[in-house]
Structure 1
Amino acid sequence: MTYFAEFLADGPVELFNKDSTDEELFEAADVIQKLHVIAQELSNAPRFVEAKKKISNKYDEIERTLIEKFIQAHRMEDVNLMREIATILSNFKSYSECVNAYIEESQMSTFVGKDIFRDALPLTEKNFALIQEVFIAPEQVMSKFVLNVYKCKLQNYIETTLAASKTDTEKYLTNLNDLYTKTVQLSKELGKFKLGSEDSYLSKLTHTVFQQYLDSYISKEKQWMTDKCGRILQKFYDSKAHQKKQVSSGGLQEIRREMQALVGTRANINIAQIEDYGGETFLSEEVSIAILEEAKTAFSRCQVLSRPSELANNASQIVEVLLDYLINNFVNYALEIGLQAVPIPETKSQPQEIHFFKVTRQTNMIVYLIEKNFADFALPLLTASTKHGEFLLKKKMSLQALEQKLENGIDRSLNAIIGWVKMILQNEQKKSDYKPESDLELGLNPNLSSQACLKVVKYMSHNIAHINECLDGGNRECVMTELGIRFHRVVYEHLQTFQYNSTGAMCLICDINEYRKCVRELKSNLVNTLFDTLHSLCNLLLVKPENLDQVRNGEHLAVLDSSILLNFIQLRSDYKSQKIASFLRGITA
């Protein structure tokens, strides 16, 4: 009460001065803190107003002095003095300023290097021990210490780093991913200090620091993917000196092609030149890998930077960009160009190269790479969400569209090959090949095989080798078999337009043997059987009339309809003169 009386009296009150010892300061602090409590209870009567004002001023003065002393003690690493002052200040209203001063002093000379994350953990570990010794509520101080690291130091560092790369989207996304990853790792490492009242304290701090960047992340990622894919494709087309053009399939395009083939065949003219681009496929595994590598990076960032509730949706947006550029803008475009480039057989020109099988090979490889990328990087982000089913459906539809174009292109290519075969046979095969007037004509061709046959075999072998090189597995087996079936049909129909004498039949047998040798390269049992049967049919043109019945009951011919056999036998030049019908039991009407 003596001290209180001094404050009631007129004139200044001096509880301590600049020459006071620490003990005197602490005693004055104890006195003023108690007087401050008493003053709160006093009324605002005139006699107390001045006293309350002087107590408040002295309270503030001592409080400031204690905080200054605390800072000095901290700089001098006097832990005991720090602890004593902190304990005294814990009863003062500005105790938080003491904590703030400690945090500011502790972090003042740190985080000045390029790697703020390298300094954060050692600094926190060092101060954790000191805070435990100095403050009476160390958990609260420690939480505030880390809060300042995140909200001030770390956030400022992140803002500065990202602002510097704002004009470079790729660098911005790389920095954002790196900063977020390091912050999450830092939070895990700081988790051992049991900060905050909740286990999610550090996660919430991380979210707060990055919220504005995570909100806009996917739009930047999608824009970057779009720009990057576009640049990769444009660079590729530039390297080919190719300007992309509008392409269309089906409908009018098919009608136009059919008209071109029809008029070109019948009128021996060409409506429009088919551009084959010098065999360029406009596909590249390297380009596809480059785009898929960018997608891999995007999916990786997506997994890191997407909130759990947004992960599947964000990943699906990356998938859409990938499907659009790699399948629709790249592969689909190449298939359309490839379809248009398949040549139409013409009577005036030599057989042209068929490049679509190379397109097929590259497409299959690119689709394999896409499927693997999706399985490894996209699907894990979409599993257990509605986006998973949507993704599978979109992918299925996109790949089915490619598959349909591949089937159309292969069918068109096989038609072109067979069309050229038909042209060669029509233009090169002479009636005298199979019905020479004398053995002298046969002597001009000691190999017996006709020139038309040899040209066809050379052309077919070239294409079979090309298909073998471009296709594999079940695809190759199916295409080879189909090619063989169509080839057989053309040869079969072609042979029925001639008549054969015995010498010509020998030449025909030689031709058929060349065809059989050729189709062995197809590795198709069905095709081999077809040509073996054709060989047996051709024997009907060679054997003596009295042996026809025996030949037609052979292994390959016994299963054939009798009308087929009769049609072939009637091709013999001696059919009527030798009264061959009389040698055929049960085959003629």
Structure 2
Amino acid sequence: MSFSIYDLDEEIRDLLQLDNFLGGLTVNEFVEELSKDHFLKGAEVNKLEYLDPKPYIRTFESALRELKQLSNEAQNQKAHMERQVEDYEIRHSRNVLELSDQIETITQQFSKLDVRISDVTNQIDPLNTALNKISNSRDVSIETIFLIRAYHGFFTKEKYEPLETLRTSKRYEDKSKCAKTVNNLLTLARKIESPDIAKTAHCIKIIEQFSGLMETELLNEFEIALENDEFETMKEISNILIDYNGGENVIQTFVSKNEFFEEEELQDLGKSLLDDESAWPVLSDVNSSEHIKDEEIYNLLNQLKVTIKGQARIVSQVFQNPTPVLRIFIQRVYAQLIQNKVSNLLTYSLSFGALAHVRVLHMLFQMVNEFTKDLKDFFITNEFDNDNELSGILDQCFYDLFIEFTSENYYFIREKKNLEETIYNIVSKFNSYNEKSLTNKSLSEAISNLNNMDYNITPTEKDSFVDKFGFKFIEKKRYDQFKEFMKTRLDVRRSSTSLDGEDLKERQEYTGLNLRLVETIIKTVVESIARVLEIEPNRSPEYALEILEILLFDFGKMYIEGGLEVIYDNAKLESNYSKINSVQEVNFNYLNSFHLLGQILFIISSCIKKIIIPCAVNNPTIRNRMINLTNGYIKRCELSINIILSETIDLSYNKLNYYLSKQKKKDFVGDNITEDDTEACELVSEFMYDVFESLSRNLDNDNLLNVLNKIGDKFLNALLEHFKKFPVNSTGGIILTRDVIRYQSVIDKWEIPELSENFQILKEIGNLFTVHPNLINSLVTEGQLATLKPLTIRQYISKRTDFNPSYIERFFSFK
């Protein structure tokens, strides 16, 4: 009870309830609610808003007292609740203990009951066994009695009516019993047959006749049911005959009487290649990429695919074990419906050449392989082939289909023949148009006689280039093969071609390297590899190696290296002609093939790296052999290119010296300075410009840079020697410097900073002829002249017209 004169009103007391705070009333909301009525809204005292603090203070004092009381009440409620929780936990523990005792009691009771049930079962099982034996003995006795009576009937009367009744019955159980009895009857009759009792043999014949009649009638019923799609009847009969003798005849009936095997069902399937005369020229053309397929076989396979899948579902309904039926059905489909068409088409294709044959073989192989894989997936997916027996049958049928054309390397012999003939046709024409260059073998001799130091190779490496990388044994073998080919074609070519009727287009195509011909060979190689990987995947590494040898030794050696021989021979001819006729301008047209040569080598190496070598990824020995062959061939080609470029450099250097020889003795001792450069400078500058233009057109990248560097170095050395030969006066020094500036401008256009830097020495040498003698000593100690030997500098200074040996030696210490 509160004794404050400022007691709380009823609204505030209602606010100070414990339930309000438990219900979510915040402190801010509580304070605002508590103080909202204790100010005078709008009232003013002395023009100031009135504010009486006492109500606030007293109100909050009372509120604190009430809050303290509420806190005490809350603590009391908490303690009371904790005591209740402890009571409930004790009760729960007691309940758990009581239930645990009850469960243990029930478990013990169940164990005792289980033991009693086991005892009862052990007593009942012998009784069941005995009853089963008695029942089985009774059934066996009945069957045995029936079997003996049946034999007696056939032995005495040649028939047994109850068995005949079972045979003619319409009930499945009776027919099944008849088949089982006849089977046992035959076994019994054969066992008791005796030569002493002739009638026993006759009895066997009678029983066999009855057996044959029974099976024939069942097969007839099966055939009628097959025609009428009565699957339940077919299933009953198949079960009877399979139990009777394995069901061989019923399976044969099911397969042979299938309407799809009727010949009229196989008509009008599409156009066959056997009748399409327009397709064979395309298949025989190495440049043709048109995809041709036999529509008749394609449609036949599609129709067979649908039929086999449908028949598989029927077989699963008719036969308990569909695998033997499907095996015979599949074998007959391949042997009767596919084999003849494939063999006829492949045999016919041989008359159009190896290419047409292998293309048709590949086409059929792909079509039938896809057909076979689809069936294998179907059988596995639909659980017809859990033991993979049908997959094995399909693989065997597929293999047998092409065995005639793939066994004993027949396929690859034709594949090689096609590739070799394609290459030889190109090489033979190439040889005929370049016979002179190829006969000279100038490049081969240059490789054999090369200076090891010029190409940074050791004598051992030189032997490798000439022998190992030349692969003499294989080269000779393949070259002999090419000569045999040429002998067979030479007479035909002579009779069909004359010099007067020579085809200009063919001459242009075969006088040099031709990218189109290279693409034809690469396309043929890739096509061959694709066929090998599909038709003979297990032998693809060794076959790919043989294809690589054909590519490198037939095409690479006789065509590409032959093209290099032609280029080198032209370079030699140009060099020799330039020596004989020095006035004639140098012709670098033989370098026109260098861009093309780079593309050809790139295409061939890419084909080998990305297509041929991966075929031997699982055979390290063959793979290493492929890599060695390829590296050896590429190195040989690179060496040949370097020799041709070396010949080009020598040709340029010889012509350069010829033009420098046009320099007149008095060109640098004149009294007057003309506006024109000297004749030699004009000739040399124009020549070097032509050299740069020709090389830039025909070379690129490192080849161009290396050749220009070497020609530039030779040019610089030639000029350094050249300026040692001519006397120079003060006026001539200016003329010489003007020539030097012209030479430098020619080199600067090459855009090779190093070379341009080296040519700066020419300007410094020109200064030796123009500066005052007193300045020579300081001049030769600076710049690039400081790197020259004193004797060399003396050679230049000695050409000054004011040269005085005693004066120079005294002041400049030149020795």
Q: Please classify the TM superposition score into its range, dividing by the shorter chain length.
A: 0.7 to 0.9
Residues in 2 aligned to 1:219 and 1:486: alpha-carbon distance in whole angstroms: 55
Q: 1:351 aligns with which of 558, 571, 585?
A: 585
Residue equivalent to 2:794 = 566
Per-residue CA deviations over 1:322-350 (Å, capped at 9, x if unaligned) read 11233101110011111111122325341
Per-residue CA deviations over 1:18-61 (Å, capped at 9, x if unaligned) read xx786699587666545434433331421222222122233223
Shift of the alpha carbon at 1:187?
3.1
User: Contact 2:442–2:565 at 8 Å: present in 1 too?
Assistant: yes
Shift of the alpha carbon at 1:517?
0.9
Residue equivalent to 1:274 = none
Residue equivalent to 1:248 = 441
Q: Which runs of 5+ in 2 are unaligned?
A: 1-147, 270-295, 451-506
Residues in 2 aligned to 1:561 and 1:279: alpha-carbon distance in whole angstroms: 56
Residue equivalent to 1:118 = 302
Shift of the alpha carbon at 1:381?
0.5
Residue equivalent to 1:398 = 633
Residue equivalent to 1:306 = 536
Residue equivalent to 2:328 = 144
Matched AA of 1:319:
L
Residue equivalent to 1:108 = 261
Shift of the alpha carbon at 1:5?
5.0
Mapping of residues 169-248 of structure 1, within 5 Å: 169-192=354-377, 193-194=379-380, 195=385, 197-198=387-388, 201=392, 202-215=394-407, 216=409, 217-234=411-428, 245-248=438-441
Per-residue CA deviations over 1:79-122 (Å, capped at 9, x if unaligned) read 12222221222134372122122123334046653123212321
Residue equivalent to 1:163 = 347
Per-residue CA deviations over 1:533-559 (Å, capped at 9, x if unaligned) read 012112211222223223323322223
1:364 aligns with 2:598: yes
Q: Which runs of 5+ in 1 are unaligned?
A: 258-276
Matched AA of 1:210:
F
In structure 2, the CA distance between the partners of 1:67 and 1:525, relative to structure 1 (3 Å rule), is same
Q: 2:760 aligns with which of 532, 543, 547?
A: 532
1:154 aligns with 2:338: yes
User: Contact 2:533–2:540 at 8 Å: present in 1 too?
Assistant: yes
Residues in 2 aligned to 1:78 and 1:279: alpha-carbon distance in whole angstroms: 72
Residues in 1 aligned to 2:366 and 2:356: alpha-carbon distance in whole angstroms: 15
Mapping of residues 44-59 of structure 1, within 5 Å: 44=194, 45-59=197-211
User: Contact 2:728–2:801 at 8 Å: present in 1 too?
Assistant: yes
Residue equivalent to 2:189 = 39
User: Contact 2:438–2:562 at 8 Å: present in 1 too?
Assistant: no
**What SS does the corresponding residue of 1:353 show, helix, strand or coil?**
coil
In structure 2, the CA distance between the partners of 1:250 and 1:363, relative to structure 1 (3 Å rule), is closer
Residues in 1 aligned to 2:595 and 2:566: alpha-carbon distance in whole angstroms: 15
User: Contact 2:443–2:640 at 8 Å: present in 1 too?
Assistant: no
Q: 1:315 aligns with which of 541, 544, 563?
A: 544
User: Contact 1:481–1:522 at 8 Å: present in 2 too?
Assistant: no
Matched AA of 1:286:
R
User: Contact 1:425–1:453 at 8 Å: present in 2 too?
Assistant: yes
Residue equivalent to 2:812 = 585
User: Contact 2:239–2:319 at 8 Å: present in 1 too?
Assistant: yes
User: Contact 2:346–2:360 at 8 Å: present in 1 too?
Assistant: yes
Matched AA of 2:231:
V
In structure 2, the CA distance between the partners of 1:162 and 1:434, relative to structure 1 (3 Å rule), is same
Mapping of residues 491-570 of structure 1, within 5 Å: 491-570=719-798
Shift of the alpha carbon at 1:302?
1.5
User: Contact 1:184–1:206 at 8 Å: present in 2 too?
Assistant: yes
Per-residue CA deviations over 1:267-318 (Å, capped at 9, x if unaligned) read xxxxxxxxxx99997112222122111111111112112242x221111111
Higher relative contact order (CA 8 A, sep 6+): 1
Mapping of residues 311-460 of structure 1, within 5 Å: 311-342=540-571, 343-344=574-575, 345-346=578-579, 348-349=581-582, 350-385=584-619, 386-426=621-661, 428-436=662-670, 438-439=671-672, 442-443=673-674, 446-447=675-676, 449-460=677-688
Residue equivalent to 1:273 = none
Which moved further from structure 2: 370-379 or 99-108? 99-108
Shift of the alpha carbon at 1:191?
2.5
Per-residue CA deviations over 1:403-460 (Å, capped at 9, x if unaligned) read 111111100011001111111222x322232233x42xx44xx22x112211221121
In structure 2, the CA distance between the partners of 1:312 and 1:12, relative to structure 1 (3 Å rule), is same
Matched AA of 1:207:
Y
Per-residue CA deviations over 1:343-400 (Å, capped at 9, x if unaligned) read 2232534123123433333222111111111122112111231111111111111111
Shift of the alpha carbon at 1:235?
5.8
Per-residue CA deviations over 1:213-245 (Å, capped at 9, x if unaligned) read 33322222111111122234456678x697884
User: Contact 1:335–1:359 at 8 Å: present in 2 too?
Assistant: no
Q: How many residues align?
A: 559
User: Contact 1:435–1:501 at 8 Å: present in 2 too?
Assistant: yes
User: Contact 1:73–1:82 at 8 Å: present in 2 too?
Assistant: yes
**What SS does the corresponding residue of 2:350 show, helix, strand or coil?**
coil
In structure 2, the CA distance between the partners of 1:292 and 1:207, relative to structure 1 (3 Å rule), is same
Shift of the alpha carbon at 1:246?
2.7
Residues in 2 aligned to 1:16 and 1:245: alpha-carbon distance in whole angstroms: 95
**Superposition RMSD on alpha carbons, in Å?**
3.3
Per-residue CA deviations over 1:461-487 (Å, capped at 9, x if unaligned) read 112122122222222221111110011
Which structure has more helix as a fraction of its residues?
2
In structure 2, the CA distance between the partners of 1:347 and 1:542, relative to structure 1 (3 Å rule), is farther
User: Contact 2:369–2:398 at 8 Å: present in 1 too?
Assistant: yes
Matched AA of 1:481:
N
User: Contact 2:668–2:732 at 8 Å: present in 1 too?
Assistant: yes
Residue equivalent to 2:701 = 473
**What SS does the corresponding residue of 1:557 show, helix, strand or coil?**
helix
TM-score, normalization by structure 1: 0.85
Residues in 1 aligned to 2:449 and 2:508: alpha-carbon distance in whole angstroms: 22
Structure with greater Cα Rg: 2
Residues in 2 aligned to 1:570 and 1:319: alpha-carbon distance in whole angstroms: 65
Which moved further from structure 2: 559-568 or 229-238? 229-238
In structure 2, the CA distance between the partners of 1:579 and 1:501, relative to structure 1 (3 Å rule), is farther
**What SS does the corresponding residue of 1:289 show, helix, strand or coil?**
helix
In structure 2, the CA distance between the partners of 1:301 and 1:584, relative to structure 1 (3 Å rule), is farther
Which moved further from structure 2: 516-525 or 124-133? 516-525
Residues in 2 aligned to 1:296 and 1:279: alpha-carbon distance in whole angstroms: 23
User: Contact 1:540–1:548 at 8 Å: present in 2 too?
Assistant: yes
Matched AA of 1:218:
F
Which moved further from structure 2: 486-495 or 100-109? 100-109
1:7 aligns with 2:236: no
Shift of the alpha carbon at 1:501?
2.0
Matched AA of 2:395:
S
In structure 2, the CA distance between the partners of 1:553 and 1:243, relative to structure 1 (3 Å rule), is closer
In structure 2, the CA distance between the partners of 1:580 and 1:285, relative to structure 1 (3 Å rule), is farther
